Chains A and B, each alone.
Chain A
């Protein structure tokens, strides 16, 4: 089945130690998104890629970076995780960007910062 896959499902890192979260998709969608979801809160969009075109939300901290080496993969890099970065990180994809399209979500990676 076509899907959005996130690895790992659970990630533990130390304060200040860089960490990379991975997302892959078999849907062949053009757009990939990263959301941060803290406990009991709505998902918050960090950035998205339309093909290789990177779009950062204005309030996304510089500590968060992303890479999309090809259509299928997208990575979220947290350069120096703080305790406040502990959250669920959701990857999503959509076919198009120019009109509201359904976003398909992965299962998420829960990040713990010690």
Chain B
């Protein structure tokens, strides 16, 4: 069965610093991968997705993610974090109508 692991429960970075959130998946075939962001008390907003093609995908709000098949990873990156990026980030893997979410990584941004 497919699964998603986000190893970091909580990450704190300083504003302006770079960010990388880790995501590892377990899936037999080519995965369909997503990153969602959830601000406190809000629903999930799609940041970016990977279905096929270029393994480096660009998303909204300056985020990007790179699919690495050899490492079964889909890490999310941002070169310079803004205070408004503080939120919960969920990696997800999709198959047909089934979306499996990781447990999430909470990002805190220090001034």
Q: Which of B26-49 contact A (CB under 8 A)?
A: 32, 34, 36, 41-46, 49
Q: How many A-B residue pairs have CB under 8 A?
A: 57
Residue of A nearest to B43 (CB): A105
Q: Given contacts A42-B102, A55-B97, A97-B96, are A102 and B44 in contact (CB under 8 A)?
A: no
A2-B105 Cα distance, complex, nearest whole Å: 29
Q: In the complex, which residues of chain A have a beta carbon less than 8 angstroms from the beta carbon of B45?
A: 105
Q: Is B101 an interface residue (CB 8 A)?
A: yes
B interface residues, Cβ below 8 angstroms from A: 32, 34, 36, 41-46, 49, 51, 90, 94-99, 101-104, 106
Pick 30 A–B contacts, CB within 8 A, sort by A.
A6-B43, A31-B97, A33-B99, A41-B104, A42-B90, A43-B44, A45-B99, A48-B97, A55-B97, A90-B44, A94-B97, A98-B96, A98-B97, A100-B32, A100-B94, A100-B96, A101-B94, A102-B34, A103-B46, A103-B99, A105-B36, A105-B43, A105-B44, A106-B43, A107-B41, A107-B42, A107-B43, A108-B41, A108-B42, A110-B41
